[in-house]
Amino acid sequence: MRKRKSRQPLNLFQMKERESDARQRLKDFFDEKVNQYNRPAFIKDDPVCIPHLFSKKTDIEIAGFFAAIFAWGNRTTIIAKSRELMQLMENDPHHFVLHHSAKDLQQLTAFKHRTFNATDLLYCIEFLKYHYTNSKSLESAFTGKGPPEKDGVVEKALTDFHNYFFSLDDAPARTRKHIATPWKGSTCKRLNMFLRWMVRTDKTGVDFGIWKTIKPADLICPIDLHVARVAKRFGLLQRKQIDWLAAKELTEYLRTLDPQDPVKYDFALFGLGVIEKY
């Protein structure tokens, strides 16, 4: 009976070579999915369609902020409620924020999206008026507390924004659940998505790239249960708890695929998880 040759264990070079090959295959697959979903046709069925209704920078910022804050649950409902709010703001959100009357605010009191109610909305309007009275862009609300740090740029930006957002005297406690912060371990999924819209840019025109202080390389990937499921299936994420540390871990892996634009893979993860039910 012929003896089987014993399989020789792989040496370190061979192990690294196989790992490199596997990573390249994964990158090729994810790049393909990015190309599939990161295109203009994606816009109409995604909350990013709301800021795309506008051309003025401040309108894009405000519309994008509300669309991102509303972005949990069914996408059709998110888009419908965001459009409803824009209509209540006379489809001129920056002008409305700065020049609304008491009667204008009264028209907002019936607005509600899931647990986001009139109390939350009116405070958001108050904060935005305060900010835009003193600043030309919402970008400084995230980056106005000194220069970005070498590491943890977005973590600092989100923490600073949360502290600034709730710095007004009458900030309602209930609204804090709608504006997340890494300091409490939240994934900050909706704000990370908003930052992706504002910071990241490419030739497809889905994201806007109108903010320049934070770089695309510094962004943190938005993560929810759908994205986490796909990330774990492909071995991109080991952490069981879906929190800020999980968002950072996932992003660190994505940086090995593209150090300059890791969050472009949000399109692949979202498409696989939500659209393809992978």
| 22-51 tens-digit pLDDT | 889 999 999 999 999 999 999 999 999 999
Q: Report, as an integer, the average pLDDT of 156-176.
A: 96
pLDDT confidence bin for 152, thresholds 50/70/90: confident
- What integer best gives the mean pLDDT of the chain? 92
| 99-118 tens-digit pLDDT | 999 999 999 999 999 999 99
Q: Is 90 exceeded by the pLDDT of residue 21?
A: no
pLDDT for 23 equals 84
Decide if 230 contacts 273 (C-beta within 8 A).
yes
Q: Is 70 exceeded by the pLDDT of residue 211?
A: yes
| 3-18 tens-digit pLDDT | 555 565 654 444 455 6
pLDDT confidence bin for 185, thresholds 50/70/90: very high
pLDDT for 149 equals 58
Structure tokens at 85: 């709010």
pLDDT for 159 equals 96
φ, ψ dihedrals at 113, nearest 5°? -135, 110
Lowest-pLDDT range, 100-104, 139-143, 264-268, 273-277? 273-277
- C-alpha–C-alpha distance, residues 2 and 228, integer Å: 48
pLDDT for 37 equals 97
For the chain, the distance separating the N- and C-terminal CA atoms, rounded to the nearest angstrom, is 47
Closest CA to 48 of 79, 24, 27: 79
Q: Is 60 exceeded by the pLDDT of residue 148?
A: no
pLDDT confidence bin for 263, thresholds 50/70/90: very high
- C-alpha–C-alpha distance, residues 258 and 278, integer Å: 22
Within its chain, how far is the Cα of 253 from the centroid?
17
Q: Report, as an integer, the average pLDDT of 50-60.
A: 98
Three-state secondary-structure class, residue 113: strand
pLDDT for 13 equals 45
Q: Report, as an integer, the average pLDDT of 112-130.
A: 98
